[in-house]
Structure 1
Amino acid sequence: MKLYHYWSSVCSQKVRLCLAEKNLEFASQHINLFDFEHWSPDYVKLNPKGVVPTLEDDGRIVIESNVILEYLEDRFPAVRLRPQDPYEQAMTRIWIYNSEEIAHHNVNTASHNPRHAVRHKAKHHTREEMQAIAARCPNPIIARRFLQRIEHGVSEDEENQAYAALDYLLEMMEGALAGTAWLAGNRYSLADIAMAPFINRIEVLKRPEMVSAARRPRIAQWWQHVQDRPAFKQAFSFANPDKSDPLQR
């Protein structure tokens, strides 16, 4: 089994976390997003969307991080991460859905603040080079947004809206944890795996107050329990192999 991933990609982190929880070994192929390896012809043949992660298992390719989570659960059932109770299964699906529809979209926006332009400047790419790189992106909408964001980041209004949406999601999380230890019940599940990388990213973006014990005590306790798991330490210990990257975290 081989995983094509990027060290700090939230979608890569959730798949690495699932693999670690299931004690599954895999060959690691790091795809450097800041060298645009995800838009190389060879990688786009594997993943036509030109995104990470991509899982290769016995010659079969699986893309989309949440689909990969479900695939791993069905393919390797020895360690169960999907609840057996129908209601808890439904709650798991809701949090997997929320992780994509709310968390991913808005964390992506918040992550493209102006400090990330430093990464591209460190690579010494000219505007013309960036336009040529964007032309390799298989999705023209992403290519256009990419060019706008590497030059200007996101607007203050876009960033504020993203954090407002994340705040709304965190309030739902706090409520969901009112009567259970984990998001979908009293057992750790794919729901927790799907959401954990986004809480980590909120802290990386220097907004720890959003998940602090003072503001959201249930999330703070849940987050500590997530971080205490050996699989979390394994999945999140993957270091950036690109030592020229000025932002190592």
Structure 2
Amino acid sequence: MDYGAAMTFTLYHHGSSVCAAKVRFAMAQKGLDWEGVYIDILKGEQFDPEYMKLNPKAVVPTLTDDGTVIVDSTVICEYLDRIAPKTSLHPSDPWGHAQVRYWTKAVDEDLHPACGAMTFVCSHRHTVLKNLGEEGVKKFLASTPPMSVTSNWKDLKDGYTRYGFDAPGATEKVKLYDSYLFKMEKALEGNDWLVGNAFSIADVALTPYVNRLAMMSMRGMWENGRLPNVAKWIARIEALPNFKPCLIDWVPKDLTNDLRDNGAKSWPEVAKILEIEI
């Protein structure tokens, strides 16, 4: 595959990637068209040497714009708002801009690593083990660069894949993930959206992470009166015309089934960690 033949707005992405979903959602909300190159990260296609020339961290998404390469979903979204400022998802006032940056910064620093941990512990580990076999899993894990999602993602992913909830730090990541739902609950008190009561990049950034929980049969983290503001927020998000095409339809059917079924099997353990009665 020739990864170097770039067209305007070519997006290298995968249905499982929350970061790729974020960029797809942002581009749709901005009305930007793009050509896609699908990188199957569960089969290890992100480790293709040609792709790693574009993205040395071996992750998705990667955006190319007439040959200019931009990596990191948050940076991509900021770049796109510079390219198309009339449809900016960042507030124009300094205070509002600062508030959305707090959310996007928190996603990058805390929530995304927690999502990677929870997704592998609850679902992806079962998919990888089932599809790749023992030798394939060894190759898959060995191919991860030391510096990827985090500076120690290689070792963490190995532990999450092999040991699940018993991996060091796995329980703490579940609790950290949950803490962000509570932060959202507070921010949404009396508001439809996270910042300034207007839809923004903060809502775009959080959407894939709440949707990941929903796809893993874990709506119990906010339903049944636990976090009513978050429940109303995700209902508003799911009603947006661009939600399903950007966050649901790109996920392969077998992966959708794996996330749902593996997540449902893992939900009792998650509920126990969070002291949620089921």
- Do Structure 1 and Structure 2 share a fold, with TM-score over 0.5? yes
Task: Tell me the residue number matched to 2:192.
Answer: 181
Q: 1:80 to 1:155 in 2, by over 3 A?
A: same
Asked whether 1:138 is paired with 2:149, we answer no
AA partner of residue 238 (structure 1)? D
Task: Tell me the residue number matched to 2:22.
Answer: 14
Q: 1:108 to 1:134 in 2, by over 3 A?
A: closer
Task: Tell me the residue number matched to 1:34.
Answer: 42
- 1:72 Cα offset (Å): 0.8
- 1:243 Cα offset (Å): 5.4
Task: Tell me the residue number matched to 2:182.
Answer: 171
Task: Tell me the residue number matched to 1:101.
Answer: 109
CA RMSD of aligned residues (A): 2.3
**Contact 1:3/1:29, CA 8 A, preserved across alignment:** yes
Of 153, 159, 164, the residue aligned with 1:153 is: 164
Tell me, in whole angstroms, the C-alpha distance in 1 between the residues paired with 2:203 and 2:19. Answer: 13
**Higher relative contact order (Cα pairs below 8 Å, separated by 6+ residues):** 1
Deviates more, 1:56-65 or 1:69-78: 69-78
Q: 1:168 to 1:60 in 2, by over 3 A?
A: same
AA partner of residue 46 (structure 1)? L
Tell me, in whole angstroms, the C-alpha distance in 2 between the residues paired with 1:160 and 1:244. Answer: 24
Of 188, 210, 224, the residue aligned with 1:199 is: 210
Tell me, in whole angstroms, the C-alpha distance in 2 between the residues paired with 1:155 and 1:36. Answer: 24
Deviates more, 1:38-47 or 1:233-242: 233-242
Q: 1:125 to 1:246 in 2, by over 3 A?
A: farther
- 1:245 Cα offset (Å): 8.7
The TM-score, its normalising length taken from structure 2, stands at: 0.81
Query: What SS does the corresponding residue of 1:247 show, helix, strand or coil?
Result: helix
Query: What SS does the corresponding residue of 2:70 show, helix, strand or coil?
Result: strand
Q: 1:84 to 1:213 in 2, by over 3 A?
A: farther
**Contact 1:89/1:184, CA 8 A, preserved across alignment:** no
Tell me, in whole angstroms, the C-alpha distance in 1 between the residues paired with 2:28 and 2:232. Answer: 22
- 1:90 Cα offset (Å): 1.0
Tell me, in whole angstroms, the C-alpha distance in 2 between the residues paired with 1:157 and 1:229. Answer: 38
Task: Tell me the residue number matched to 2:64.
Answer: 56
Query: What SS does the corresponding residue of 1:48 show, helix, strand or coil?
Result: coil
- How do 1:110-129 residues align onto structure 2 when only pairs under 5 Å count? 110-113=118-121, 115-127=123-135, 129=136
Deviates more, 1:238-247 or 1:166-175: 238-247
AA partner of residue 73 (structure 2)? S
Q: 1:152 to 1:23 in 2, by over 3 A?
A: same
The percent identity for this pair of structures is: 31
Deviates more, 1:204-213 or 1:43-52: 204-213
**Contact 1:213/1:219, CA 8 A, preserved across alignment:** no
AA partner of residue 236 (structure 2)? H
Tell me, in whole angstroms, the C-alpha distance in 1 between the residues paired with 2:157 and 2:178. Answer: 25
- 1:142 Cα offset (Å): 3.1
AA partner of residue 187 (structure 1)? A
Asked whether 1:227 is paired with 2:238, we answer yes
Unaligned runs of 5+ residues in structure 1 are none
Q: 1:207 to 1:136 in 2, by over 3 A?
A: closer
> Matched residue pairs, number?
248
Tell me, in whole angstroms, the C-alpha distance in 1 between the residues paired with 2:67 and 2:130. Answer: 37
**Contact 1:122/1:245, CA 8 A, preserved across alignment:** no
AA partner of residue 45 (structure 2)? E
Q: 1:119 to 1:245 in 2, by over 3 A?
A: farther
